[in-house]
Chains A and B, each alone.
Chain A
Amino acid sequence: MMQSRAEWMGLLARSNPPMVAQAWESLGLSPPFKWLRAPELGAVMVRGQAGGSGKPFNLGEMTVTRCALQLVDEQPTVVGHAYVQGRNKAHAEQAALVDALMQTQHANQVDRMVLQPLANALALQVAEQKEKAAATKVDFFTLVRGEDE
């Protein structure tokens, strides 16, 4: 089971919205909640580093949607946060609900029904990209042309 909050929040942010929606629906939970911060579109300035390892510079922005909510039936208070790439408010809402539920007695179920399928899908996608890249691995040979002899 996913233990770290940063880990599942990151997974929810990187997963594509239709997959998050599908996984969320498969869970079949709809806990009542109230917004602490309704879904909001914004930008994050992405930074790079000169030479890949030197001083930071501002590369450009990316769109991000964030929200925060509180589960009303939980005592003590449970707050779910989301910062997800793109402009999909439903994605942010589902991510925040998952974040909140992971802090409740539903954690095991949410992990099994939502997080694991998303993690598997992402891993599969990465593996496929790596395999495709590996198939284009090239060996170049240098040939002595003999003109300099």
Chain B
Amino acid sequence: MYVAVKGGEKAIDQAHAWLAEVRRGDQNTAVLDTAQIRDQLTLACNRVMAEGSLYDPDLAALAIKQARGDLVEAIFLIRAYRTTLPRFGASAPIDTGAMTCIRRISATFKDAPGGQLLGPTFDYTHRLLDFTLLANGEAELAETERQTLNEPLARVSDILGKDALLQPEPSGNEEPGDLTRQPLAFPADRALRLQSLSRADEGFALCLAYSTQRGYGRNHPFIGELRVGHVEVSMEIPELGFSIVIGEITVTECETVNQFVGSRKQPAQFTRGYGLTFGHTERKAIAMALLDRALRWEELGEDDTGAPAQDAEFVLSHADNIQATGFLEHIKLPHYVDFQSELELVRRLRAEAEQ
């Protein structure tokens, strides 16, 4: 039980004033503009949008500035803000097949139709500090090649799907559950699992996905396809009676192809894991796909090996960094009354033991 405390207003005000001052930092350096954060710390903004579960790069940049670069705090600000917005409706499912890709790679087919596009990637860099950035060196504009791409790029999964080597994706049009409206309950269907994983903490998702690679619920994933790019979002407008594009967002999509030896019910074929996240957030999208696949053990008739990544209740209940940080950090707030009662109990027990 938490018993409230009173007082401390003046000290709290002064602490917040000091917070504002240290947020600003040295007055001799230029103040950071949110447009600079949005355009130059794009991947930080992308993470805040993905886990804040609200696509708005300007707000993500503002949250990062306000949170002094603490991304979990920034995500918290975004989550709090989104609760103030009226919901206009839900979009039609985005068509990632029609994506304008800035990056598209396959680790399974080197000659994927349409080609492999590396895009703006850290892959193949040497991870050496670039001291020209320290000296405010300006990057040159990327060279472009006058050539047209065959768009839209065919999905790699469709190539395998044609020969029934890859399990088909169950189709359906049911209204998906929404964990922002109804608290998560178990068993959670795949739609809820995907929603939860898409906004899950990147660190948690990454390390848990890694655990499956190390043998805790191993499912042998290959990256069938990873694509990053822009997709249109369209929605049916009730007052107009037709559907319009309401914007364009950047997303990362990862499809894994996993080994599956078959069961009594099904012939040997590859199975799928799926990751889809706001922004260019590929580490997270890959982790999501691995976890999605691990959580599908039951429908695929696999053994429950007792691995943490196979336990939906464990994964989904602990994947949200705002729930986690809320509960974890609240224990630093005053608990004087609770502790006082425990102290008295321990004293009484000791006194009784001495008699």
Q: Footprint of B on A, CB under 8 Å?
A: 5-6, 9-11, 13-14, 40-64, 66, 68, 81, 83-87, 126, 128-142
**In contact, B244 and A6 (Cβ under 8 angstroms):** yes
Main secondary structure of the interface of B (DSSP, over half): mixed
In the assembled complex, which residues on chain A have CB atoms less than 8 Å from the CB atom of B180?
A: 45, 58, 61
In the assembled complex, which residues on chain A have CB atoms less than 8 Å from the CB atom of B173?
A: 55-56
24 A-B pairs with CB atoms under 8 Å apart are A41-B85, A43-B87, A43-B88, A45-B178, A46-B233, A47-B91, A49-B96, A49-B169, A52-B276, A54-B169, A55-B190, A57-B190, A61-B82, A62-B55, A63-B85, A83-B244, A85-B233, A86-B58, A130-B149, A132-B142, A133-B117, A135-B144, A136-B121, A142-B110
How far is A139 from B246 in the complex, measured between Cα atoms in Å? 37
**In contact, A43 and B90 (Cβ under 8 angstroms):** no
**In contact, A84 and B247 (Cβ under 8 angstroms):** yes
Kindly state whether residue B53 has any CB partner on chain A within 8 Å: yes
Total B residues in contact with A, Cβ cutoff 8 Å: 86
How far is A137 from B190 in the complex, measured between Cα atoms in Å? 34
**In contact, A13 and B199 (Cβ under 8 angstroms):** no
Surface stretch bound by A, among B21-29, B98-106, B132-140, B262-270:
B98-106
Contact with A along B91-130 (1 / 0, CB 8 A): 1111011001111100000100001111111000000000
Q: Which of A48, A128, A131, A142 lies in contact with B94, CB distance below 8 A?
A: A48
**In contact, A126 and B100 (Cβ under 8 angstroms):** yes
Number of A-B contacts (CB under 8 A): 242
Kindly state whether residue B184 has any CB partner on chain A within 8 Å: no
Kindly state whether residue B54 has any CB partner on chain A within 8 Å: yes
In the assembled complex, which residues on chain A have CB atoms less than 8 Å from the CB atom of B311?
A: none
Name the distance in Å between B194's Cβ and chain A's nearest Cβ.
4
Contact with A along B314-344 (1 / 0, CB 8 A): 0000000000000000000000000000000
In the assembled complex, which residues on chain A have CB atoms less than 8 Å from the CB atom of B119?
A: 133, 136
Name the distance in Å between A83's Cβ and chain B's nearest Cβ.
5
Q: Which of A11, A43, A50, A136 lies in contact with B82, CB distance below 8 A?
A: A43
**In contact, A43 and B144 (Cβ under 8 angstroms):** no
**In contact, B235 and A60 (Cβ under 8 angstroms):** no
